[in-house]
Amino acid sequence: MTETILITAIGTVFAVAAILAIIRMIKGPSILDRAVASDVLLTEVLCIMGAEAVINQHTYTLPAMLVIAGTGVLGTIAVARFVARRDRAQERGER
């Protein structure tokens, strides 16, 4: 009984956090806000997959979790490089 309540509470918290992250991804206002929101959403997915693996006592989702984490890191690096290039181009154009 207590385990069911705990799992329901955790699921509710993750669902609310995911909805808020998706809203931030849609509204923005900047590309950095969207990048942070996508990182938060990927982290939530990883946490949910990890919690599911612990609850069901298996490690089948570990490779998928590693791929998702790697994709998130590469995506963050790509966005950071894009923003840095854009900022440098704007500085050159203003001077």
Q: What is the pLDDT of residues 21-77, one digit of tens each?
A: 999 999 989 888 999 999 999 999 999 999 999 989 999 999 999 999 999 999 999
Question: pTM of this prediction?
Answer: 0.81
Confidence of residue 95 (pLDDT cuts 50, 70, 90): low
Give Cβ neighbours of residue 4 (< 8 Å, ≥ 6 apart): none
The span from the CA of 36 to the CA of 1, in Å, is: 36
Residue found under tokens 């946490």: 47
Tokens of 62: 């570990």
| Cβ-contact 66, 92 below 8 angstroms | no
The span from the CA of 60 to the CA of 82, in Å, is: 35
Structure confidence by residue, pLDDT tens digits, 2-34: 888 988 998 999 999 999 999 999 998 988 899
